[in-house]
Amino acid sequence: MDHRGDSDGHLIQRCHQRKWMTGNTNEVCGRVATFMLKTSGYLVDQKYPLFISEFGIDQTGANVNENRYLSCFLGVAAELDLDWALWTFTERYYVRAGVVGLNEYYEVLDYNWCAPRNSSFIQRISVLQAPFRGPGLSEAKLHNVIFHPLTGLCITRKPFAHWLRLGPCSESYAWSYSPHKTLLATRMHLCLQAGESGTSAKISIFCTGSNSKWR
């Protein structure tokens, strides 16, 4: 028997719509994720599959609320390795609200079905199309990647340098989170370290300072 949970992504999105515009994005995302985990996400911990239905955003990129919501959604979906269904793949309607050929701006494809409406959106969700864990992946040692939802990429390192860059998640370092609240690049004895405000983070061999502690 398939015990499959179904959580409506659009419902979660609408319930917090105004807060995405006016609040601190990270804090709003934390509250939304907590709400989802309490109402349906607990099924994942109980080993049941959870399917997120009908999530999506205005593909023109003009809706600030939805853009911020999407980064939150992608982060949570990657963390929990959720299954999902996107709204929507199709293009314009034949007839809707009395209008022939009404354009649907939530559609992934453009008006003529010839190309993606928003290529950056395709890149952002592509990492979620392959599972992070599960059957067939058990032979790989479990590890963490650091995912950047705004681009759909993961943290890697520039060759022969301590500075970080974004790249395909398949090329990401394996990271671990230590009891000392440091993020360690596995087998490299290096940790993730913050710079001054407005500067890039880097990896370093000096891991005891406060700028190497992460919550």
57 near 121, Cβ under 8 Å? yes
Contacts of 130 (CB under 8 A, 6+ apart): none
Per-residue pLDDT of the chain (215 residues; tens, 9 = 90+): 233 444 555 555 555 667 888 888 889 999 989 998 899 888 888 888 888 888 888 888 888 888 899 999 999 999 888 888 888 887 677 788 888 888 888 888 887 788 888 888 988 998 888 887 766 665 566 778 899 999 999 988 776 667 788 999 888 888 999 999 999 988 778 899 998 888 888 888 999 999 999 98
What pLDDT digit, counting tens, does each position of 119-137 carry?
889 889 988 888 877 666 6
Q: How far is residue 181 from each of residues 2, 89, 141, 191, measured CA to CA in Å?
A: 38, 41, 21, 10
Q: How far is residue 138 from each of residues 131, 132, 134, 187, 215, measured CA to CA in Å?
A: 12, 10, 7, 20, 28
Strand duo 175-177 + 164-167: pairing? unpaired
Contacts of 128 (CB under 8 A, 6+ apart): 74, 77, 78, 84
Which of 48, 105, 106, 38 is closest to 76 using CA atoms?
A: 38
Long-range contacts of 38-41 (CB under 8 A, 24+ apart): 39/7, 40/5, 40/6, 40/7, 41/7, 41/80
Contacts of 36 (CB under 8 A, 6+ apart): 7, 12, 76
Strand duo 50-55 + 83-86: pairing? parallel
Which of 92, 145, 89, 139 is closest to 116 using CA atoms?
A: 89
* Residue 7: per-residue pLDDT: 52
194 near 211, Cβ under 8 Å? yes
User: What whole-number distance in Å separates Cα of residue 102 and Cα of residue 210?
Assistant: 55
